[in-house]
A and B are shown apart, each in its own frame.
Chain A
Amino acid sequence: MNQFIKQKNRFILLMLMPATILLVGLTLFPFIVSFILSFTDYSLLRPGQTKFIFLENYIELMKTDDFWIALRVTVVFTIFAVFIQVVLGVIFANLLHHETRNISFLRTIYLLPLAITPIAATFTFRLMFNPSLGVLNYFMKVLGLPPQAWLASPSTALISLIVVDTWQWTPFILLICLGGLASLPNEPFEAAKVDGANSWQVFSKITVPMLYPFIGLALLFRSIDAFKTFDIIYVLTSGGPGVLTRTLNLYAFKHGIEFLSMGYAGSIAIVMLIITIVVAQIFLRKNKLLQPKDTFK
C-alpha cells in the first residue's frame, strides 16, 4: 500500500514538474531578478558598476511628481475603462443571451475585436483618429460638427484611449458574462415571470445579482490588465499631450528601455505589482468571490 502511495506521489510530482519549471523560469525568476534590481542602481550604460542602494529608488520614486501623475492617469484610465466595459459587456451579454435565429452570427461579430491583433487594431485607430485624413473627422464634418484633435487635445486624448480600450476589451466581459448566463438556473426567471416581473426587474433583481460572481471575476481580470495597458497608449499618444496619458507602465518603459535605468524601472514595476496585489486581495476578500456559495439568495 505504502509502495503504491509513494509511486502515486512520484507520478504526481513528475506530472507537475514541467509546469513548475515553466512557472519558475518564466514568472518567478524574472520577478526575483526585478525585485533584486530594484534595490540597485543597475544601468546598462554602466556595466560592472552596479551598487546596492537599498530603498533609494523607491524613495526617489515617491518624491517624483512624474510618478504620482502617472499613477493618477493609470487609476483614472483603469476605473473609467473597466467601468464602461463592464456595463456594456453585461448589457450586450444579456441581449445576446436570448436564442434567436442570427444570434450566433452576432456573437461572433461582437467577439471579433478580441481576435484581432491589438497592435494592428491600434494602428488602424491611429489612422482613424488622424485629424486631417482620418475617417472620424470626416464624419464630424458630414454631420456639420467641428473636427477634433482626438489624440492631441488635453480634453479628448484620455477619452480616445478609453474608447479604443473599450472597443477591444468589452468582448472579454461579454464572453465571461455569456458563459455565466448560460450556467444560471432557469427557475428564478420562470418564478419572476409567473409573479409578473417586467424585463428591467428581471435584469436588475435576478440576472445581475446571479451573475455577480462572473462580473466580479471579469472586473478583476480586466482591472489588472487595464492597469498594465501599454500598447494602445504607446502607439496612439506616447503619453501625450504633455504627460496627460502617461501611465505607470509607460513610465517604467521610458526608464527601463529608453534610459536603460533597469534598477529604477524595476522599482516602478514592483510598486505596480504591490498595488495590483493589494487592490485584488481587498476586492476578493470584500466580495468573497473565492468562497463557495451554496445557494442563490
Chain B
Amino acid sequence: MKKKQVSHLPPIKKLNLTRRHFIEATSALVGAGILSSYGLPIYAASNVDEMMKMYNNANIDWQSQKGSSIVLSGLEHPWMSSIEPLLPHFKTLTGIDVQVQKQSESEYVAEVPIKLGAGSPSPDVYMVWSYGQAANAGWLESLDQHFDNSDLFDKNWYDLGDIFSSAKSFPVWNDGQSYVMSITAEAQTMFANQNMLDAIGAAVPTTFDELLSTGKKLKTGDVSGVAMRSKADGSAGTWPCGGFVFSNGGVIIQDGKCMLDSAEAIQAVHYYGTILNEAGPLGVGNYHWYECLNDYMQEVCAIGLDSSNFATDIENPEKSNAAGHTTYGAMVSGPGQQAKPNMWHWMAGINSKSEQKAAAFLFLTWANSKPTCLMSSALGLATTRTSAWESDGFKSAFGSQAATAALTNLQNADGKIMKDCWFHPQSGEILTPFGIAINEVVTGTKSAENAMKEATAKINKAIGA
C-alpha cells in the first residue's frame, strides 16, 4: 500500500547531510541488520574499517580503558533495542566489554533505586528514570569533569551544535552541573487514522473542542474516537494530560508549589476527561500507553495523542493495520491558547559509585556521538541529533511526516514547565496523586474541580509547599 503523506505542519530546516556521510554511517548497519537477524555477528569485517574511520577522526584515546568491563542497565525501550546491536562495534573500537541488564519499566524503576540507594557500584551506566530523584540522592556522577578531559572527549568532533537545544539544557541540574546525557527525544504528537477521517469528511483537529467533536463523530460501536492514557498511576495519564494543562495556559508546578487547582489546569483536565468520556473507548480508565497504541494499531481507535516514538510501531505493517494511512499532527490547544505539547528526553548517566567511570563516560560519548546516532536512527530511534533526524535512514524507518510532526511538536514544547514537575526530587509524590485525579475525572468518580483541588492539597502537603 502506498503511503499517504498528509502534512499539516510547516516544513523544517534541511541540514547539509551528504549522501556519502549517510552511506558511510548506515551501510554497516544495513549489513548488520541482515546478519543479526540470522544470529550472526553484527558487523561484516569489511564494514569495520569504514566505521573505525568515523570514530578515529575524533581526538579521543578510545583504547585508554581497554580490557575493562562495564554494566549498562536500562529498560525495555527503543534506545536499548537500537544500542544493543551496536555494542560489538563499541568493543572493537575501545576494547571495553559492555554487559547489558534490561528489564521492563516497572521492574526497572522498582529495582534500580534500591540498588543505587544501597551504594552498589553496579550498574556503571544507567537510563535515568527520574533525574530529580537520582541527582538529589547523589546517585549520579557529574559529567563536567569528564567533558574537560581531552583524552576522553573531543568537543569539536562531538559537535554539540548538532544536538537539540532542549536535549542540551535537560541535563543541566540546578547546581549548574550536568549529570546525564539526553539520549532520545520525544514529543506529544497526534496520530490520526486518515481513512477514518476521510470517511466522515473531517480534518485533523487542532483544538480541544475540535478533538472532542471529531472524536464523537468518529466513535462507533466498534471504534473509539480518541484514546489517551488515564490509568490510576503516576506514569500513565500524567504525561499526555500534562500537555493538555500546558496547552491551556496552565502549569503543574510553579515556584515549588502545585498549581493544578488553577482555573486553566482544571479546565484542561475537564476537557481531557470529557473527550475520553464521550469519544474514548470503553474502559479507558485502565488504559496505559500500551493499550492506546494497541487500539490504534488494530484500528479500533481513530485518534491518539501520545509519544512521537509510537510512529515506529504504527508504521510497521507487520504490527499495525494503520500503517501507511496515519497522519501525524501538532498538539491540540485550549480556547485561545498556544499548543505546548509535553516532551521528554530519556537520559543516561554514570553511577557515582561506579569503579569504571572513565570507561562509562567513553561509552556515553560513543552512544551519543554523531555516527552512532546515525546508525541507531536508521533503526527508527528518535535520537537527540538533528543530523540523525534529517537522515534518510531515520525518515524511512520512522516516517517522514511523523518525523516532521515530532520535530515541530518538540520545537513548540516548553521544557522548563515540564522539568519543574518531572525533575522535581519528589516527582513520584506529585505525579501519583495527579494520575489518580485524572483517572477519577475520566471514570466519572469526581469532577475535575474536586479532583484537582484534592490532588493539589495532597501534593503541596507532600512536597512541603
If A133-B294, A257-B113 touch, does A243 touch B282 (CB 8 Å cutoff)? no
- Find the B residue at minimum CB distance from A253: B110
Instruction: Answer whether residue A104 sits at the interface, using C-beta atoms and an 8 A cutoff.
Output: no
Contact between chains at A260 and B133 (CB < 8 Å): yes
- Residues on A with C-beta less than 8 A from B121 are none
| Cα(A238)–Cα(B286), bound, Å | 9
- Residues on B with C-beta less than 8 A from A133 are 294-295, 298, 300
Contact between chains at B282 and A258 (CB < 8 Å): no
Instruction: Answer whether residue B225 sits at the interface, using C-beta atoms and an 8 A cutoff.
Output: no
Contact between chains at A240 and B233 (CB < 8 Å): yes
Contact between chains at B440 and A151 (CB < 8 Å): no
Instruction: Answer whether residue A45 sits at the interface, using C-beta atoms and an 8 A cutoff.
Output: yes
| Cα(A137)–Cα(B281), bound, Å | 13
Q: What distance in Å separates the Cβ of B107 from its nearest Cβ neighbour in chain A?
A: 10
Instruction: Answer whether residue A132 sits at the interface, using C-beta atoms and an 8 A cutoff.
Output: yes
Q: Mark A176-211, 1 if CB is under 8 A from B, else 0.
A: 000000000000000000000000000000000000
Q: What distance in Å separates the Cβ of B211 from its nearest Cβ neighbour in chain A?
A: 19
Contact between chains at A240 and B231 (CB < 8 Å): yes
Q: What distance in Å separates the Cβ of B274 from its nearest Cβ neighbour in chain A?
A: 16
Q: Mark B276-309, 1 if CB is under 8 A from A, else 0.
A: 0000011111110001001100101100000000
Contact between chains at B113 and A241 (CB < 8 Å): no
- Residues on B with C-beta less than 8 A from A288 are none
Contact between chains at B300 and A242 (CB < 8 Å): no
| Cα(A151)–Cα(B443), bound, Å | 11
Q: What distance in Å separates the Cβ of B112 from its nearest Cβ neighbour in chain A?
A: 11
Q: Mark A232-265, 1 if CB is under 8 A from B, else 0.
A: 0010111111111010000000100111100000
If A45-B426, A147-B282, A240-B233 touch, does A154 touch B113 (CB 8 Å cutoff)? no
Which of B117, B236, B439 touches A241 (beta carbons < 8 Å)? Answer: B439
- Residues on B with C-beta less than 8 A from A111 are none
Instruction: Answer whether residue B109 sits at the interface, using C-beta atoms and an 8 A cutoff.
Output: yes
Instruction: Answer whether residue A152 sits at the interface, using C-beta atoms and an 8 A cutoff.
Output: yes
Instruction: Answer whether residue A131 sits at the interface, using C-beta atoms and an 8 A cutoff.
Output: yes
Contact between chains at A150 and B283 (CB < 8 Å): yes
- Find the B residue at minimum CB distance from A245: B232
Instruction: Answer whether residue B445 sits at the interface, using C-beta atoms and an 8 A cutoff.
Output: yes
Instruction: Answer whether residue B425 sits at the interface, using C-beta atoms and an 8 A cutoff.
Output: yes
Q: What distance in Å separates the Cβ of B265 from its nearest Cβ neighbour in chain A?
A: 18
By secondary structure, the A interface counts as loop
- Residues on A with C-beta less than 8 A from B284 are 149, 152
Contact between chains at B295 and A132 (CB < 8 Å): yes
Q: What distance in Å separates the Cβ of A277 from its nearest Cβ neighbour in chain B?
A: 27
If A243-B232, A254-B432, A259-B426 touch, does A47 touch B298 (CB 8 Å cutoff)? no
Q: Mark A214-239, 1 if CB is under 8 A from B, else 0.
A: 00000000000000000000101111
Contact between chains at B432 and A237 (CB < 8 Å): no
Instruction: Answer whether residue B428 sits at the interface, using C-beta atoms and an 8 A cutoff.
Output: yes
If A147-B282, A237-B286, A241-B285 touch, does A258 touch B109 (CB 8 Å cutoff)? yes
Contact between chains at A240 and B224 (CB < 8 Å): no
| Cα(A239)–Cα(B287), bound, Å | 13
The CB with the most chain A CB atoms within 10 A, among B109, B286, B300, B429, is that of B286
| Cα(A32)–Cα(B415), bound, Å | 44
The CB with the most chain B CB atoms within 10 A, among A150, A236, A259, is that of A259
Q: What distance in Å separates the Cβ of B291 from its nearest Cβ neighbour in chain A?
A: 7
Contact between chains at A241 and B440 (CB < 8 Å): yes
Q: Mark B101-117, 1 if CB is under 8 A from A, else 0.
A: 00000100110011001
- Find the B residue at minimum CB distance from A137: B282
Q: What distance in Å separates the Cβ of A169 from its nearest Cβ neighbour in chain B?
A: 23
| Cα(A151)–Cα(B231), bound, Å | 10
Q: What distance in Å separates the Cβ of B136 from its nearest Cβ neighbour in chain A?
A: 6
- Find the A residue at minimum CB distance from B106: A234
Instruction: Answer whether residue A130 sits at the interface, using C-beta atoms and an 8 A cutoff.
Output: yes
Instruction: Answer whether residue A9 sits at the interface, using C-beta atoms and an 8 A cutoff.
Output: no
Instruction: Answer whether residue B371 sits at the interface, using C-beta atoms and an 8 A cutoff.
Output: no
Which of B138, B286, B298 touches A151 (beta carbons < 8 Å)? Answer: B286
Which of A44, A137, A244 touches B137 (beta carbons < 8 Å)? Answer: A44
Binding site for A on B (CB under 8 A): 106, 109-110, 113-114, 117, 133, 136-138, 224, 231-234, 236, 281-287, 291, 294-295, 298, 300-301, 425-426, 428-429, 432, 436, 439-440, 443, 445-446
Extra pairs beyond A149-B286, A243-B232 (5, CB < 8 Å) = A44-B114, A240-B233, A240-B286, A241-B285, A257-B114
